[in-house]
Amino acid sequence: MNELADTQADPVEEALHWIVRLNSGAATPEDAAAYAAWRAENAGHAQAADEAERLWAAMSNLHFDRRSGRVLAAPKQGLTRRGALSLFLCLGASGVAGGALWSSGLLNRLSADYATDTASLEVIDLPDGSRVSLNARSAIDVDFSDGMRRVHLRAGQAYFEVAANPARPFEVMVDELSFRAMGTAFDIVRDLPEARAELAVTEHSVRISTVSGDTLDVGEGEVARIDRQGRIGAAVKTDVSAVTGWRDGQYVAEGRSLEEVVSALSAWHHGVIVITDRQIKKLRVNAVLDLRDANGSLDVLQGGLPIKVRHVSNYLTIIS
Amino acid sequence: MAINRNALLYQLFKLYHREAVRFATRLVGNRDSGEEVVQDAYLKLVARRSTTPIDHPKSYLYTATRHAAIDFTDRQNREWQRRVDLDSLDEAHLADDGAVRMEMQRELAKLAVYLNALPPPCRQAFVMNKLQGYTHLEIAAHLGISTSMVEKHIVRALLHCRSLLLADGDL
């Protein structure tokens, strides 16, 4: 890029073009790296990028009111109801942390009964006395009827504390996967990089059923995964308090892949996290991370792994 | 001089009243508020007692209406904020400094107004991507346009907001 081109093209406009492209849902790690390179080219680009990113970030606080079809500047609550707004800074780009995993849950989140934003936790009291805790960027639909208490986990992760009622089974659906409980407490996360869902039971037991008729009862202190092909894995004895650490703003990784860890952190991060090296995605991580400081947590990871974490800006972090 | 100017403003608002209200309604979301905004705009201009000539009456009116819409939105939000429990991790409320928070709210009011002034397809593409998180591909399918058109719409929305932020900088 020569000087002449710089004076003719407004760098802030160019930066905004980049940001739009990175948020298209089709951006690749190469795109993110190219933006980082453009940004680093000179002080003018860096400043323009800062301004553009700031505008984009500020707009995250806007809301769309479906009723009137208007954009509002009204303050939000962390929790939103059906018909109202669900605000997400979501990028849905394959290769970008959360990427394709997010876009599959996206449409579900938008029309959900309850949904949380980035870096938000919420607790919902259901009419039967059960309680659901939602992790960041998560969503549920509540579908109670006379004979059945059903909750659909549309996106993210939730911790369920179920009020006992033998006459009315409590069932959580992750698409067509069923998790049935009678009076228990358990955690379900969906759309992990290598699993459709993961269940951790903290009290009593939960029965998993698939459409093909496979079932598995998972007991207290056990974790089970359903892989991307829909196969239920074995129930494994685990420290389930580690799995539910997110409820206190902590993410405890015990042998989790870097990809999975970054996916969990990205729900608490307002920008883009990109892993450019496919091989490092599978590195195993053992760490206790602070979800409320996603960037700091990424730096902590750098301490224990052969990776390089580069905070290109508040908005963009590249891991290589 | 002042009397002539007020007469001119009166004529201006009388002539373009319906259009101004329609424009204001788009910016703030409902007709009653739209009427109020146009009234505010008129009163503000009259009160200003400016003596600079109005070269482009219609655009002058529209700009004044836009500014009044921003004030209105900002005022409404401040009223709303007083009544709502601010317990969230919303970035706009993370600012401890009251002045900074007011600045941020002011800017949000501007952005909301600017975006509502955009033509529907452009605004819709922006809202669907930025506020609702759809991908360009999904938006293109939904709106029946190409992904490159979606990208153009969103960029246009951003540039529109940016240039108005610069223009209304001291508001």
Residues B20 and B38 in one domain: yes
User: In 10 A of CB A225, how many CB atoms?
Assistant: 21
Residues B55 and B91 in one domain: yes
Q: What is the rounded CA–CA span in Å between residue A62 and residue A79?
A: 15
- Judging contacts by C-beta atoms under 8 Å, the chain A residues touching residue B23 are none
Q: What is the rounded CA–CA span in Å between residue A61 and residue A166?
A: 44
Q: Which tokens belong to A235?
A: 């129930």
Nearest to A244 by CA among A190, A200, A203: A200
Residues A140 and A110 in one domain: yes
Residues B22 and B39 in one domain: yes
Q: What is the rounded CA–CA span in Å between residue A16 and residue B153?
A: 12
Report pLDDT for B3. 60
Residues B109 and B67 in one domain: yes
Q: Which tokens belong to A68?
A: 């009137």
What is the rounded (10 degree) CA torsion for B155, B156, B160, B165? 0
Residues A259 and A313 in one domain: yes
Residues B80 and B16 in one domain: yes
Considering A195, A224, A248, which residue would you say is the last residue of a domain? Answer: A248
Residues B107 and B159 in one domain: no
Residues B49 and B133 in one domain: no
Residues A229 and A266 in one domain: no
Under the banding of pLDDT at 50, 70 and 90, the label for residue B93 is very low
A103/B135 CB distance under 8 A:
yes
Residues A136 and A147 in one domain: yes
As a whole number, the mean pLDDT across chain A is: 82
Q: Which one has a higher pLDDT value, A274 or A196?
A: A196
Report pLDDT for A75. 47
Residues B68 and B6 in one domain: yes
A96: in domain: no
**CA of B83: how far to CAs of A84, B79, B89, B103, in Å?**
19, 7, 17, 19
Q: Which tokens belong to A207?
A: 């029965």
Quote the domain boundaries for residue A265: 249-320
Residues A110 and A194 in one domain: yes
A69: in domain: no
Q: How many folded domains does chain B comprise?
A: 2
Least confident of A63-67, A83-87, A265-269: A83-87
Least confident of A218-222, B74-78, B111-115, B159-163: B74-78
**Residue A231 in contact with residue A214, Cβ under 8 Å?**
yes
Residues A52 and A171 in one domain: no
Q: What is the rounded CA–CA span in Å between residue B87 and residue A6?
A: 44
Residues B83 and B127 in one domain: no
Residues A157 and A230 in one domain: yes
User: In 10 A of CB B67, how many CB atoms?
Assistant: 19
Nearest residue on chain A to B128, alpha-carbon basis:
A64
Q: Please tell me which of the candidates B28, B132, B155 has its beta carbon nearest to residue A110.
A: B132
Across the range B54-63, mean pLDDT stands at 89
- Judging contacts by C-beta atoms under 8 Å, the chain B residues touching residue A59 are 111, 130-131, 161
Residues A224 and A282 in one domain: no
Report pLDDT for A2. 45
Quote the domain boundaries for residue B167: 119-171
A67: in domain: no
Q: What is the rounded CA–CA span in Å between residue A50 and residue A105?
A: 30
Residues A202 and A108 in one domain: yes
Report pLDDT for A203. 93
**Residue A168 in contact with residue A145, Cβ under 8 Å?**
no
Report pLDDT for B97. 60
Angular region, A163: left φ>0, alpha ψ -120 to 50, beta rest: beta
Quote the pTM value: 0.55
Residue-wise pLDDT for B140-153, tens only, equals 988 999 999 999 99
Report pLDDT for B154. 97
A78/B89 CB distance under 8 A:
yes
Residue-wise pLDDT for A243-257, tens only, equals 999 999 999 999 999
Residue-wise pLDDT for A72-124, tens only, equals 876 443 333 322 222 222 222 223 333 333 333 444 444 567 878 778 888 99
Report pLDDT for A96. 35
Under the banding of pLDDT at 50, 70 and 90, the label for residue A183 is low
Q: How many folded domains does chain A comprise?
A: 3
Q: Which tokens belong to B14?
A: 């009388």
Report pLDDT for B2. 55
Size (chain B), residues: 171
Size of interface A-B (CB pairs under 8 A): 132
Percentage of residues of chain A with pLDDT beyond 70 = 84
Across the range A161-170, mean pLDDT stands at 90
Residues B147 and B103 in one domain: no
Residues B123 and B105 in one domain: no
> Please, which residues have CB within 8 angstroms of residue B29's CB and are 6 or more apart in sequence?
A65, A68, A70, A72, B116
Q: Please tell me which of the candidates B109, B131, B158 has its beta carbon nearest to residue A87.
A: B131
Instruction: Look up the CATH number of the domain holding residue A165.
Output: 2.60.120.1440
Q: What is the rounded CA–CA span in Å between residue B148 and residue A14?
A: 16
Residues A110 and A232 in one domain: yes
* B42, pLDDT greater than 50: yes
B162/A12 CB distance under 8 A:
yes
Q: What is the ipTM of this complex?
A: 0.71
Residues B147 and B170 in one domain: yes
Under the banding of pLDDT at 50, 70 and 90, the label for residue B96 is low
A71: in domain: no
Report pLDDT for B23. 93
Instruction: Look up the CATH number of the domain holding residue A270.
Output: 3.55.50.30
B111/A110 CB distance under 8 A:
no
